[in-house]
């Protein structure tokens, strides 16, 4: 079932830069410097997007000296995947049983 939290997460990940950040972090833990280099975004813009992702629980931070590393929390994406999987299963049942309202 799509909850308001799921809807919020979809909205957050709909931003192209945030989706790019999540995609990069799926492959490795990176610091802001790496993310700036990989995305070409300005540091302040990137920091704002990282804050949104952090507040949504999509990423977590790990301080390392002067740097802050970001890593993805895969369980958040698994929750989203599960919600869409349930929606797809419902749609499949609807199609297979030809369920429709009478007009």
38 inside domain: yes
Do the domain assignments include residue 71? yes
**Number of domains present in the structure of the chain:** 1
Q: In terms of residue numbers, what domain contains 20?
A: 4-97
Closest-CA residue to 29 (of 61, 77, 57, 66): 61
**pLDDT(93) > 80:** yes
pLDDT in tens, 30-50: 999 999 999 999 999 999 999
For residue 103, is it within any domain?
Answer: no
Given a cut of 80, whether residue 2 has pLDDT beyond it is no
pTM of the model as a whole: 0.85
**CATH number of the domain that residue 87 is part of:** 1.10.10.10
**Cα–Cα distance between 51 and 75 in angstroms, integer?**
19
């Amino acid at each position: 079932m799509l909850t308001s939290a799921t809807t919020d997460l979809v909205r957050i990940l709909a931003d192209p830069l945030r989706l790019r950040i999540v995609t990069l972090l799926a492959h490795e833990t990176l610091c802001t410097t790496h993310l700036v280099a990989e995305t070409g975004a300005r540091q302040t813009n990137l920091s704002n997007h990282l804050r949104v992702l952090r507040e949504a629980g999509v990423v977590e931070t790990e301080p390392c000296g002067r740097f802050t590393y970001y890593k993805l929390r895969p369980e958040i994406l698994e929750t989203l995947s599960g919600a869409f999987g349930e929606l797809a299963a419902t749609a499949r049942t609807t199609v297979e049983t030809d369920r429709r309202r009478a007009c």
